[in-house]
Structure 1
């Protein structure tokens, strides 16, 4: 659910358990002046009179229902306006949100007891209670809700979630209880090494049952149909088609005294040059990711350019419902035919790096060693081998030519990237025909969920600090598979890492690396393309923007505008 970057300017170590893990993230500025570092606290006399900024985004918000969200923008907006038990600080550390403290564990670490802050309130004045978490979690796991992430995040992790998803148990049996208004008890199926970072994800946010049920089908359809318990609240948002929206400080937030920013104006701008022009004209303070080389070259060396390598991977999904893509040699041919170096150097030209892997560089560490150091590289560009495998695949399927529907996004950067991939495939693989459909982000998600595509440009940013956030995407029948890919051996390896090796970090690491090799080198389940570099423009007067390695892209609550 995210992307990658140029130079690895910051690798922030996040210790989540006695043996796990770290992520690349945070905010950095590669200009000549002092970096615009997340969490920076300018002195009071430096503050500008007007604590208001304008931020540009490349897409509309698909949903603001925390149990239905499945994209980074939605997660970022939820993070700005809501708060779960825990969240990330500017240095990527997991800290209490609504929780009053870090969890208390039983002896085998399968039961968590969490005390909540009594001062946490909803924007309508209601207290945030343990019951709000129970309601939200039960709603998310209920099959009738059809939450895209509920089953994925809870099955085989939270007690009874698997049985509930299979409709063999009621949602009320889920392993979460309100012992009283301010005490929550969570029961796991087994110990989860990364549970604290896991609980920062927006799926686990609370919802006010009385408000949600009163709103009915209107809930989360616009600003008037939302409640906030975070640093900001919506004062303008007309729903998923809105191209502008406004957040204002939530004075009822428990930590409102430490939130200086008063207002954030958001506008959708899908053209990179238009975004850069708006920034230069003083019409925007923060731009979306800029990926076009011609634009970035204008700001090289400028203190306004913030650049860092994200732990996010972009790939080409191949839907095996198509008979041609069911053939492993055709899939391998597609994966090997794309010149990834030319893609990152000449097309993107923004600091992104080639990805010959699934788990990104600079993301997961064990005893100081990066997962990638011993993880290997797979599906490196090899056009000659691609042609051989293509011919072999055509013979095996009895096909002479293959026409594929390719789903991409409707931004200028996406269109340029998709055109390059189309050219690479059609020129390298004789008889290949690619029909590109450039659609809005929400439509792309829908086409992915419905498996209504042959090839689809997709990507993933980590939701928590562990390789598993990438590895379990490809399980047979998985909630985020959507490619009809299945390998029982892969399933068995992932299951073993979960069931048997949770407390054996070295062995677990090795099994996950072997599974990655099987997924890519043996099966070519999808074609990894690049680890994305983030390049955004930030007004130097805007201090304290915090970027995150997993979950939401940014947090705005520490921003202060200086003179």
Structure 2
């Protein structure tokens, strides 16, 4: 066995707890009020680590549970339940050494078997997790066979050597494997709790977590309340005593409540960042954020016949005026998107995408040509429906798209719905076009590009391309995957299964007395245990 470079860094961090808990500088005067209230746009669909699919749900899960590793404010890995790991010479076997002081909120020890159970549960077809494919992306041995129902979950390449030693076998060396372990689907869960309570195990009073906070209240679509856990292994360095998440479907109303002092962090509504930055220079921020905003097109048998024609798909993408969206509607530092992978992703080199270099007039002209070739135009209109989840910002962009498309003879009907209905309809291919965004699960380009493979659990538009699949499969063993990522992006530009619209920025109002948020991490992964409020 040998230590990896990542392990060496983690071993050093393990000796300095202040590096991964609230790191309060000497002389700082803390506020007596150590509570943090943040905004959620939509209701949390699930607090089950193996079931959740939402970014907002992940923010909750990172506080109620803890995986093998966490991220620091710069996005570097730091110890969670795992103190460190070793890697075999062939790069296929990871052995994680778990901290003996890690316990659940009821005082029971966190063991390697808890991870084994959680990972087997994730890939078990009976769980029906939309994230079962994530274990395949991690290349865990037999993950594909288990998810396909060909072998039992017990055959998954994860073993508890003893209570505090976890062994994971992967099918091919994967340099970014440790980075993938910060995702909520890999968090441990208690088998006895799930078996006792069934689907009700995530309710307050039933949920047993191993994170820095415990769930005290959850009113669906209204609020989530979490108290500091006295049993968390690093409770002594956790300053923030209570977290509250408020669900407010109207971002403008959320901003009003922030300005009234009811929230400590909220997204800035589209178009308001310049004004708010001028008025509240120490509270308004715009930071790169690893998410991409798209309209997904339904290429399945349930989808419109017109979208099976690549000329129509390209025309729709070319007609989308991204500069208007970014500069006139959003105005928060977002980037126009002509590709899928976020521009700030670590190690990613932006490929040459032909239409990205055209003027909007050139894109419009090409869109007219392609639609005419496909038999559509003002004299033979194309009618499509765009589904989007409730948000004033999504509505503004949808209305803009409607206006962009109208001169081309494309009639776009807008269909607004709540988040759960929206995602359920996407999973069932019950849509023409659907507003969608993907935030990276880890900071590497494959977190985007794997989503559009045929084996992805989130390829709701059912874009299937053998060459694309082969490129992404080859990238797992490539010494330098970037050329393969470039080719994959170029296939997406040629086949256009999605309409890229913009790459996110994190555009927020943050209370001036809140410290510890990860402003230099493009993943924007935050933990309540890292936060503290200073006296004003």
One fold, TM greater than 0.5? yes
Residues 3-39 of structure 1 deviation map (CA, whole Å, 9 limit, x = unaligned): xxxxxxxxxxxx9699xxxxxxxxxxxxxxxxxxx96
SS where residue 464 of structure 1 aligns? coil
2:225 is the counterpart of 1:246: yes
Shift of 1:42: 4.0
Q: Which residue of 1 aligns with 2:492?
A: 519
Partner of 1:468 in structure 2? Answer: 446
Name the structure 2 match of 1:363. 345
Unaligned runs of 5+ in 1: 1-14, 19-37
Change in CA separation of 1:45 and 1:168 when aligned onto 2, cut-off 3 Å:
closer
Task: State the aligned residue count.
Answer: 509
Q: Which residue of structure 2 aligns with residue 440 of structure 1?
A: 418
Separation (CA, whole Å) in 2 of partners of 1:45 and 1:68: 40
Q: Which residue of 2 aligns with 1:177?
A: 159
Pick one of 486, 496, 510 that aligns with 2:474. Answer: 496
Matches within 5 A, 1:176-215: 176-215=158-197
User: Does 2:70 match 1:94?
Assistant: no
Residues 549 and 422 (structure 1 numbering): CA distance in 2 closer, same or farther, change over 3 Å?
A: farther
| Alignment deviations for residues 122-165 of structure 1 (CA, whole Å, 9 cap, x no partner) | 11111100010000000100111111011343267111111112
Using the TM superposition, name which of 268-277 and 144-153 deviates more: 268-277
After superposition, the Cα gap between the structure-2 partners of 1:512 and 1:347, relative to the gap in structure 1 and judged at 3 Å, is same
CA RMSD across the alignment: 2.1
Is the contact between residue 135 and residue 143 of structure 2 (CA under 8 Å) also seen in structure 1? no
Gaps of 5+ in 2: 9-20
Instruction: Kindly provide the CA deviation profile for residues 538-558 of structure 1, in whole angstroms up to 9, marking residues without a partner as x.
Output: 111111122585767422211
Q: For 2:517 and 2:51, how far apart are their aligned partners in 1?
A: 26
For 1:280 and 1:542, the matched residues in 2 are separated by: 15
Matches within 5 A, 1:10-409: 41-43=24-26, 46-101=29-84, 103-154=85-136, 157-220=139-202, 222-238=203-219, 241-287=220-266, 289-294=267-272, 296-300=274-278, 302-320=281-299, 321-365=303-347, 370-372=348-350, 375-380=351-356, 381=360, 382-394=363-375, 400-409=380-389
Give 3-state SS (helix, strand or coil) of 1:404's partner: strand
Deviations 1:276-307 (A, max 9, x none): 222222222211x2132146513336101122
Task: Give the TM-score normalised by structure 2.
Answer: 0.91
Distance 1:273 1:156, change over 3 A: closer
Summarize deviations over 1:213-257 as a string: whole Å, max 9, x none: 11112122x22231121111111113xx33112111011100101
Deviation, structure 1 residue 43 = 3.8
Q: Equivalents in 2 of 1:415, 1:17: separation in Å?
A: 46
Aligned-partner SS, 2:83: coil
Q: 1:74 to 1:548 in 2, by over 3 A?
A: farther
Residue of structure 2 equivalent to 1:533: 505
1:459-488 per-position Cα deviation (integer Å, ceiling 9, x unaligned): 111111211111111112421111121111
Larger RCO, structures 1/2 (Cα 8 Å, 6+ apart): 1
1:326-368 Cα deviation digits (max 9, x unpaired): 0000000000001110110001111111011122212122xxx
Q: Relative to 1, partners in 2 of residues 1:295 and 1:362: Cα closer, same or farther, differing over 3 Å? A: closer
Partners of 1:39 and 1:361 in 2: how far apart? 30
Does the residue aligned with 1:314 lie in a helix, a strand or coil?
Answer: strand
TM-score (ref. length: structure 1): 0.86
Call closer, same or farther: CA 1:17–1:497 in 2, change over 3 Å: farther
Q: Residues 269 and 390 from structure 1, CA distance in 2 versus in 1: closer, same or farther, beyond 3 angstroms?
A: same
